[in-house]
């Protein structure tokens, strides 16, 4: 059931973000519609190994044309529409989480942990989810660069990989390893 909801959400994100993305993402707007969908799915979806391998193959086939698109995605993060859609989903997830904690938290997590989790406000939960989503989006962009990156990307990735304060440091290091393979 959750997988279906995620697929529907991704389709909505892809459709809604498409119109806005074209105006705020000039590099992205240069892509053919099917490649735009591929990129949006890559940036927004957390895939299993087999599915990830299929996406990697398709992205590699498109090749170097995606380099400026992935840098744009890394620089700008998710679109306003993607964040708006996520925000609506977070409200529902928070409600579901609270209901689950109230029903099963004590037995599944222990009374102390369940109480601690129930005390997390909707705002705290939403803020954390938005930060994690944005970081995951940006690290997906760097992972994409690892698949198709050039020497120019390598130089820029090195700067991120050497920056201990950058939350994308590990993703940049992984992208560099992928480029060098």
pLDDT tens-digit profile of 54-94? 999 999 999 999 999 999 999 999 999 999 999 999 999 99
Query: CB of 29 within 8 A of CB of 17?
Result: no
30-55 pLDDT, tens per residue?
A: 999 999 999 999 999 877 777 888 99
Q: Which domain holds residue 8?
A: 2-180
DSSP-assigned states of every residue in 91-116: HHHHHHHHHHIIIIIHHHH-HHHHHH
Q: How many residues does the chain have?
A: 181
Please tell me the total count of domains within the chain: 1
Calculate the alpha carbon distances from 149 to 95, 100, 153 in Å: 41, 43, 5
Report d(CA 179, CA 123) in Å as an integer.
39
The pLDDT tens digits of the residues spanning 98-155 come to 999 999 999 999 999 999 999 999 999 999 999 999 999 999 999 999 999 888 899 9
Model confidence, pTM: 0.80
- CA 135/CA 141 separation, integer angstroms: 10
């Amino acid at each position: 059931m959750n997988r279906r909801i995620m697929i529907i959400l991704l389709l909505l994100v892809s459709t809604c973000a498409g119109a806005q993305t074209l105006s705020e993402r000039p590099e992205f707007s240069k892509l053919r519609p099917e490649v735009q969908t591929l990129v949006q799915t890559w940036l927004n979806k957390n895939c299993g190994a087999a599915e990830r391998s299929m996406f990697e193959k398709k992205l590699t086939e498109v090749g170097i044309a995606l380099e400026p698109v992935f840098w744009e995605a890394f620089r700008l993060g998710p679109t306003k529409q993607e964040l708006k859609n996520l925000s609506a989903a977070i409200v529902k997830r928070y409600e579901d989480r609270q209901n689950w904690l109230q029903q099963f938290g004590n037995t599944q997590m222990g009374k102390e942990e369940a109480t601690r989790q129930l005390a997390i406000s909707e705002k705290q939960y939403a803020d954390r989810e938005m930060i994690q989503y944005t970081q995951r989006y940006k690290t997906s962009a760097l992972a994409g660069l690892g698949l198709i990156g050039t020497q120019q990307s390598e130089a820029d990735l090195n700067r991120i990989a050497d920056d201990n304060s950058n939350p994308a440091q590990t993703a940049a290091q992984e992208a560099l390893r992928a480029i060098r393979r």
